Amino acid sequence: MVTNNNLQSAIRSIPDFPKKGIVFRDITTLLKDKTAFAKTIDIFYDRYKDKHIDKVVSVESRGFIFGSILAYRLNAGFIPVRKPKKLPAATIREDYQLEYGTDSLEIHTDAIQKGERALIIDDLLATGGTVRSHSETCYKTWGRNCQFGIFNRINLPQRTGTFKRI
């Protein structure tokens, strides 16, 4: 039986990828294990099923896997966050820090309406830059805090709660 505690074994660690000194957490091993994959979705669903989530926000590409399934299970809309210049309408851009540099993400300006509850779902937490970027965008654009759910190799979900404006 798969439990929260042994899901960590379903995620492969690859040292020195994408550059020396970085340990990459490869979730493809979790995705190919149908029991572990289902359990991961169930954990997130159980955590948020009573939170009245209107939109699930996720970053390409791995975040789309979990976010879209969770949006379906929660009967919520799905909001993709993409690399710059990949979304066709007006966007908001946020820059953030990676373990090995900087990057930027964009979300449509009309993605979340005032009063809607948004849940940010991402796969693995490294520096927290991606989630911080989402949270900052959520606050600046819609004037509210967003819930977030992330898992890492130690325990799923690793961090849950509300990111406040930084």
Q: Which residues are catalytic?
A: 62, 99
Asked whether the beta carbons of 74 and 49 are under 8 A apart, the reply is: yes
| Alpha helices by DSSP H, 75-152 | 129-142
Q: Which of 156, 142, 125, 163 is nearest to 38 (CA)?
A: 156
The pair of structure tokens assigned to 143 is 């004037």
Instruction: Please give the backbone phi and psi of residue 50, each rounded to the nearest 5 degrees, phi first.
Output: -105, 15
Asked whether the beta carbons of 132 and 163 are under 8 A apart, the reply is: yes
Q: In what order do the strands lie in the sheet with 55-59?
A: 77-81, 55-59, 118-122, 146-150, 159-163
